[in-house]
A and B are shown apart, each in its own frame.
Chain A
Amino acid sequence: MSVPILNYLVLSAVLFSIGALGVLIRRNALILFMSIELMLNAVNLAFIAFARQWGDVAGQVIVFFVLVVAAAEVVVGLAIIVNIFRTKETVDIDEIDLLRG
């Protein structure tokens, strides 16, 4: 029994929206960042579903590239967040508002 492709896509869209909402709602930089990761993985799901639909392996290969990019982003992002935590002792992004106007 195979699950219809649409279900995967809906799940992907729901995950993506949850991620986007997380970015808007959460104040902890780490959680914010995890929300973005969730969005990326939602996209990965969509890629795999589409690859299955088209019977095309390229879509699955793309997922690996996305994973690599996400890993690189994690490395950089965590470094940035740790660095800011050292001086400010907080990762609450609402308190990071030096620059404005």
Chain B
Amino acid sequence: MEARDFLALTPMLIVTGTALFVLMLDLFLREERRGWLAGLSLLGVVAAFLANLYLPTFGEPLVQGMIRFDALTQFLNAVFLLGCGLAVMLAADYTRRQGIARGEYYCLVLLSTLGAMLMGASADLLMLFLGLETLSIPLYVLATFLRKNPASQEAGLKYFLLGAFSSALFLYGIALLYGATGTTKLDGVLQGLSGAMGAAPGLVLGGLGLLLVGLAFKAAAVPFHSWAPDVYEGAPTSVTAFMAVAAKAGAFAAFLRVLAISTPALAEGWALVVGWLAIATMALGNVVAVVQLNLKRLLAYSSIAHAGYLLIAVAVGGTGALSEPASAGLLFYLLVYTLMTLGAFGVVIVAEGRGENLSLEDVKGLAWRYPWVGLAMALFMVSLAGLPPTAGFFAKFYVFRAAVEAGSWGVVLAIVGVVASVVSVFYYLRVVYYLYLRPAPAAEAPAAGGQAEAEAGRPVYLSRLAAWGLGIAAVLVLFLGVYPTAALQWLTEIAAAAMGAVP
């Protein structure tokens, strides 16, 4: 290990250290001081975020060829840490209400973030696997964190069993690629791939296929999505919010790394398979979301649908020379997705009270009682639907444009994407409609008993930290929607550099 290895690992080490420290500190804290845990975790995340931004980047793999710390890693780390920080902010008060504000909670969130960071930085398939597991295992525990709650138990079990199953498939894929090329280093695999295609095409194709399956599971792409709605619904909402972002962002970060090992000969098949996954994912996610009345489940299907849009970028990104706009679009989409999904779940978190599942009926008229929260939710919904002037619009715009430029298959994908987005407008705006639906005062009058309750409505538990979290997410969504240019230029440079680094 050299000094620069430690430099590159600094953000991850900070996160790990914070996780362990929070875990220990929990033992010495009195019950009423538990709030410190969130604050401390947040401090660690901010420190890692700053360290990540100001550290120098390196062109070649570090830590014996395991880790890359290039501009792409830097950006992905920033996204993960942003997601983690917002998730912690939103979770602080919620976990207190649920009685699960323990050190383990924040420790696990931080460790899971570490896993995502390892995935995004990996230069070796083994590292990718370890990152995937470091991401997933804490999530299994978090999903079942409400130990006495049957739904949460079930969510944990389902996620665990299916997750372990998919990990096994993923690992088998790595083994096959190793068998074909004799290495697990990504650039080594790439070099050996053309030769291996001639010698043992079965190993190469099987390996890539299973790798794809493992990542598609984490990204919740159809038909590997089926765990997502159940787990999202059953898990504590603060966990769902984090999971929806971390697991997906980690998976797509890995996609970006793995994209580098698709030779032109393989790219076409890759594009077709991933493209079909994208089509299935967009179609199923959006169509099933239409019939959902439970908000968490609706958002779960929405997150599946968004995996579909992201997959479009992956599908057209693999085809050689055009990968730059697609990668930039993918990264921008990831950032925006992180913000708007955390925001939307965040509103569910603050509106949820004590763990009962929110249905659309429950948020009726919420915007009149809590105008800020209502406005934020409306903004996130509009952004998820991909309408201007929000970031969601440009995210879709850039991905679809990259697709259209990538040729006829890309055009097909973009058209499906646009149609799917139109369907999605329906259910997203329905949420907004319910938020702003004020029952006519006169009509309510006869039900005198229920009226007081209906008028007062459900309370919203908006702690200061959660309000800041929602505010940051909302402002960024709006800002990126009005002025996406700077972010996109940055991302284009990253994509160019990252694609150039790998021959």
* A96 touching B137 in the complex, CB below 8 Å, given contacts A23-B165, A53-B179: no
Q: Which residues of A contact B137 (CB under 8 A)?
A: 72-73, 76
| Chain B residues touching A, range | 35 or more
What's the tally of chain A residues with a CB closer than 8 Å to chain B? 44
Q: Which of A33, A40, A65, A73 contacts B130 (CB 8 A)?
A: A65
Q: Which of B148, B154, B171, B184 contacts A58 (CB 8 A)?
A: B184
- Which residues of chain A from 47 to 61 have any CB-CB distance to chain B below 8 Å in the complex? 47, 49-50, 53-54, 56, 58-59
Q: Is B140 an interface residue (CB 8 A)?
A: yes
* A87 touching B148 in the complex, CB below 8 Å, given contacts A36-B168, A69-B133, A72-B137: yes
- Contact B133 A98, beta carbon cutoff 8 Å: no
- Which residues of chain B from 144 to 186 have any CB-CB distance to chain A below 8 Å in the complex? 144, 147-148, 150-151, 153-158, 160-161, 164-165, 167-169, 171-172, 175-176, 178-179, 182-184
Q: Which of B148, B154, B156 contacts A98 (CB 8 A)?
A: B154
Q: Which of A19, A29, A54, A101 contacts B161 (CB 8 A)?
A: A29
* A84 touching B153 in the complex, CB below 8 Å, given contacts A53-B179, A99-B233: yes
Q: B111-132: contact bitstring with A at CB < 8 Å (1 yes, 0 no)? A: 0000000000000001001100
* A99 touching B178 in the complex, CB below 8 Å, given contacts A36-B165, A62-B126: no
- Contact B179 A50, beta carbon cutoff 8 Å: yes
- Contact A43 B156, beta carbon cutoff 8 Å: no
Majority SS of interface residues in chain A? helix
- Contact A83 B153, beta carbon cutoff 8 Å: yes
Q: Is B70 an interface residue (CB 8 A)?
A: no
* A98 touching B160 in the complex, CB below 8 Å, given contacts A43-B171, A43-B175: no
Majority SS of interface residues in chain B? helix
Q: What is the CA–CA distance of A93 and B141 in the complex, to the nearest angstrom? A: 18
Q: Is B364 an interface residue (CB 8 A)?
A: no
Q: What is the CA–CA distance of A81 and B144 in the complex, to the nearest angstrom? A: 10
- Contact A29 B164, beta carbon cutoff 8 Å: no
Report the minimal beta-carbon distance from A96 to chain B, rounded to whole angstroms.
5
Q: Which 6 A-B pairs have the closest CB atoms?
A: A39-B168, A99-B230, A54-B182, A50-B179, A46-B175, A84-B153
Q: A33-B164, A72-B137 are in contact. List 8 more A-B contacts (CB 8 A).
A: A23-B165, A42-B172, A49-B179, A58-B184, A80-B141, A83-B144, A98-B154, A99-B229
Binding site for B on A (CB under 8 A): 9, 16, 19-20, 23, 29, 32-33, 36, 39-40, 42-43, 46-47, 49-50, 53-54, 56, 58-59, 62, 65-66, 69, 72-73, 76-77, 79-81, 83-84, 87-88, 93, 96-101
18 intermolecular pairs with C-beta atoms under 8 Å apart: A29-B161, A39-B168, A40-B167, A42-B172, A43-B172, A46-B175, A49-B179, A50-B182, A54-B182, A56-B183, A76-B141, A83-B147, A84-B153, A84-B156, A87-B153, A99-B155, A101-B229, A101-B297
